[in-house]
Amino acid sequence: MTDQANDTTHQHPSGLPLSHWLTVTEALIAAQVAQSLEEHGLTRAQWQVLNVLSTAPRTTAELTGGFEEEQRAAVAGQLEELVESGWVVYEGELYSLTQTGRSAGDRVAAAVTALRERATEGLPAEHYDVTLRTLRQVARNLGHPEA
């Protein structure tokens, strides 16, 4: 009986499997995005809310609807923090960005863009596109309904 762990014919040429690189990459991206957001005084949920509000005013349901059910109450609380900070205003049934919130959102977007550029440095655009298509296909193959 052959020990598969020691059988080089079954190992990936890089020496480590796809799952390793996905886990490492996701952890690095998450940590660096979190650090950047923290430097700007935002949580990830608040950043997502600012992004949505950058396109148009929204209701509470529209802003919290993109989050998992168990996260919605916390997101609503964080939305209130954005109102208290003067980045978002609530008028009638709609939340919208203030000029301060729009400026802050623009600064954070620039920082995230710089992180994305650093992460893909030296990677030709076509390789990045192929990587995304490949990962979406893997997700579809494994049952992700929206990939």
**119 domain-assigned:** yes
5 in any annotated domain? no
Average pLDDT estimate for 103-121: 93
10 located within any domain: no
Q: How many domains does the chain have?
A: 1
Q: Mean pLDDT throughout 73-99? A: 93
Query: Is residue 3 included in any domain, yes or no?
Result: no
Give yes or no for residue 126 having a pLDDT over 90: yes
Considering only CA atoms, give the Rg of the chain. Answer: 20
- pTM recorded for the entire structure: 0.72
Residue 18's φ and ψ, nearest 5 degrees, are -50, -45
Beta-carbon contacts of 141 under 8 Å, excluding residues fewer than 6 positions away, are none
User: Is residue 132 assigned to a domain?
Assistant: yes
Residue 2 is predicted with a pLDDT of 47
Is 78 among the domain residues? yes
9 found inside a domain: no
The encoded tokens of residue 29 equal 């991206």
- Over residues 11-19, the mean pLDDT reads 77
Domain assignment of residue 22, yes or no: yes
The CA-atom distances, in angstroms, between 75 and each of 57, 62, 68, 86, 112 are: 16, 12, 10, 17, 21
For the cut 90, the answer to whether the pLDDT of residue 67 exceeds it is no
- What's the mean pLDDT in 28-53? 91
Rounded to the nearest integer, the mean pLDDT of the chain is 88
